[in-house]
A and B are shown apart, each in its own frame.
Chain A
Amino acid sequence: MDITFMLEILPQFLSVLPITLMIIVVSSLIGFLLSILVAAIRIKKVKLLNPLMGMYISFTRSTPILLQLFLIYYGLPVVLALMGIHINDINATTASIITLIIYNGAYMSEVIRPAYLAVERGQHEAADSLGFSSFKKLTRIIIPQVAPIALPGLGNAIIYLIHDTSLVFAIGVVDIMGFANIIISSNYGMNQIEIYLTIAIIYWMISMVSEQIIKYLEKRKQRLPYNGTVEEAA
């Protein structure tokens, strides 16, 4: 194994790292927002939309994400054409982000929904009986209790998302994985192990950093009760 070679190629990967990070950050944030909407529709059992969301979650979680990636990349222009919007093809990075948003919207909603339902009815009723508005009840009483339950699951979702981004090279996005394959082919298939090991370490690092962020948030949430009301009110 050639460690110097690994150190040599590492800087080259840093040039494509922003693409991977951008895909992770954008699809986790928008995916999270989407998942809140989906969870809300399912919890409130909104007519028509609720069964639709059930189908959406079932489909997304039951089909390979690679397949979904192809469906969006090749299928979305066709669907848009049917709606009268003509584009020749869609940008591979955009297609990747859309796919991961759709996937995470479903996946994370199934973390948020049970976490929300785990908060007892009595907590809602206590806030209601004291005249809290729906918004205040949500922000002051319910979300602070949902967050500690949901955070570990959301953390896992983000780790999976980081791993899933390694699939987007399949439609031609030059992310870390895509770049690795380019180096390998221009190297006539040599040093594959070193190259893959290098990007494995990069993925590891990204995952570790995200894990630390989630852990920090978990701790912050747990500490909240001690100074929550007093500090916020001041």
Chain B
Amino acid sequence: MLSLKNLEISFNNEQVLKGINLTVNKGDVVTLIGPSGTGKTTLLRCINYLEKPDNGEILLGDIHLDYTSIRKKDILKIRRKTAMVFQQYNLFKHRTVIENVMEAQIVVQKKSKEAAYKKSMDELEKVGLLDKIDAYPSQLSGGQQQRVSIARALAVEPEVILFDEPTSALDPELVGEVLKVIENVAKSGMTIVLVTHEMSFAQNISTKVVFMDKGNIVEEGTPTEIFYQSSNDRTREFLNQFYTEKNSI
């Protein structure tokens, strides 16, 4: 359903992604893990063209594009089939919770106000924020803001949702509520690509785990294959380091 071929991107002459090939099937929950500065977030942001790849191709549903000859119209098409949940939530600050969720439905999808409102209420119910619909983002906790942003992403009925370290900016006690919501989204059959440092969460919800290092995909497989059966040195080194750190806390 989503596939990237030979995706390359450089910043300031330094190649950050060195020819990525990735396939995501419908209903997959694909988690990108790996050391910081490895290009996980960049890869995610290339999928909806927030970063502009230098080379490569993308296949998304019935869209097939070559990054070297991409047009403005194509970019909008891709973005309208995807939705993103950001590390810093990025809710529209001048809009209330309900307006945040309605906005793209009205402006981009040209839905009627009533239809958008109904859909928004459905999605806000799923993330448990019906009591906050008239609040402004600044009046909400980080966890609540992130749940709104998930509702906003769900409301446009994307073919795939991209999660960019959705819990990294949260206070530790708020991480759980957001992970719970993401887990429900995954269970609903939504196709997900997720960048996270929550290893046990990745292990629980992923259908496929992708380990990246230095701009390359080192290894990919089921959670069991990556977390317990990997024979790759770099993968094991990364996971060992991670668990050692966690145990030492």
Q: Which residues of A contact B50 (CB under 8 A)?
A: 125, 128-129
Give complex CA distance A127, B77 in Å: 14
- A83 part of interface (Cβ distance < 8 Å): no
Query: Which A residues are in CB contact (< 8 Å) with B80?
Result: 130-131
Q: Is the CB of A132 within 8 A of B108?
A: yes
Q: Which of A123-140 contact B (CB under 8 A)?
A: 123, 125-133, 136, 140
A27 at the interface (CB under 8 A from B): no
Query: What separation, in Å, do the CA atoms of A125 and B86 have in the docked complex?
Result: 9
Contact of A122 among B48, B90, B96, B102 (CB under 8 A): B90
| Residues of chain B having any CB pair with chain A under 8 Å | 48, 50, 76, 79-80, 82-84, 86, 88-96, 99, 102-104, 106-108, 113, 116, 136, 152, 156, 162
What B residues does A51 contact at CB under 8 A?
none
Residues of chain A touching chain B, judged by Cβ–Cβ distance below 8 Å, are 120, 122-123, 125-133, 136, 140-141, 144-145, 224-226, 228-230, 233-234
Min CB distance B179 to A, Å, is 21
User: Do B95 and A225 touch across chains, with their CB atoms under 8 A apart?
Assistant: yes
Residues of B within 8 A of A136 (CB): 107-108
- In Å, the complex CA distance between A7 and B18 comes to 81
- Ordered by A's residue number, 6 sampled pairs between the chains whose C-beta atoms are within 8 Å are A126-B92, A130-B156, A132-B107, A136-B108, A145-B93, A228-B94
Give the chain A neighbours of B162 by CB distance below 8 A. Answer: 129
- Which one of B48, B76, B83, B113 contacts A230 once the chains associate, using CB atoms below 8 Å? B113
CB pair A225–B82 under 8 Å, yes or no, is: no
- Residue on B with the closest CB to A125? B50
The answer to whether B76 touches A234, judged by C-beta atoms less than 8 angstroms apart, is: no
Question: Could you tell me the distance in whole angstroms from the C-beta of A148 to the nearest C-beta in chain B?
Answer: 8
A129-B83 contact in complex given A140-B103, A229-B99, C-beta closer than 8 Å: yes
B79 contact set on A, CB distance < 8 A: 128-131
